[in-house]
Amino acid sequence: MYNSILVAIDASQESVNIIRKGKALAEASSASLKVVHFVEQPYINYAYGELVAQQYLPSTEEVKAQVMPALSAQMEAAGVPVSQLHIEIGIPSEAVCALALEESADLIVVGSHGRHGLRLLLGSTANSILHHARCDVLAVRVFDED
């Protein structure tokens, strides 16, 4: 059914269920599985000058190092090797679609939220991926603690 599955996660605890769903689909389809988390580049306000930005903004490697422990724990909880996790920099909705195209993924698995209204139902990132991806998208229902 599918040959290449891309699972896009955030840093929330609900991501474990999204990874598990992607893993189950990959196993059922004998597909390759790649889990990705995109970190947005910190915003630099040039009005304060580049020197200020360099002093206060963490580097890309620092940001990746900060999210790695939580994401590694999610991978472990889902039973997926950490070697299948990729942390990249980019605007998540755009970067996920671009990576799926680059990797020839035929399914993207993302989380959706149980809020009201279409945009809130999916979340703006999942909604954008759904409308811009050139492959199938599975929105896995996750529930917010309200």
The predicted-structure confidence for 60-73, as pLDDT tens digits, reads as follows: 788 888 899 999 99
Dmax (CA) of the chain: 53
Q: What is the CA radius of gyration of the chain?
A: 16
Closest CA to 41 of 32, 53, 55, 26: 53
The rounded Cα 85 to chain-centroid distance in angstroms is: 10
Look up the pTM and report it. 0.83
pLDDT at 146: 45
Banded model confidence at residue 123, pLDDT cuts 50, 70, 90: low
The answer to whether 132 touches 98, Cβ cutoff 8 Å, is: no
The predicted-structure confidence for 19-60, as pLDDT tens digits, reads as follows: 999 999 999 999 999 999 998 866 555 555 555 555 566 777
Buried/exposed code over 110-141 (b: 16+ C-beta within 10 A; e: otherwise)? bbbbeeeeeeeebbebbbbbbeebebebbbbe
DSSP secondary structure code for residue 49 in this structure:
-
In sequence order, what DSSP letters do the residues of 9-40 get, joined into one string? --SSTTHHHHHHHHHHHHHHHT-EEEEEEEEP
- The count of other CB atoms within 10 Å of the CB of residue 96 is 28
Residue boundaries of the structural domains of the chain: 33-90
The rounded Cα 38 to chain-centroid distance in angstroms is: 6
More confident residue, 16 or 125: 16
For the chain, the average pLDDT equals: 84
Is the predicted pLDDT of residue 122 greater than 90, yes or no?
no
Is the predicted pLDDT of residue 104 greater than 60, yes or no?
yes
Average pLDDT over residues 110-117: 65
Which distant-in-sequence residues (6+ apart) come within 8 Å of 133 by Cβ?
96, 97, 100, 108
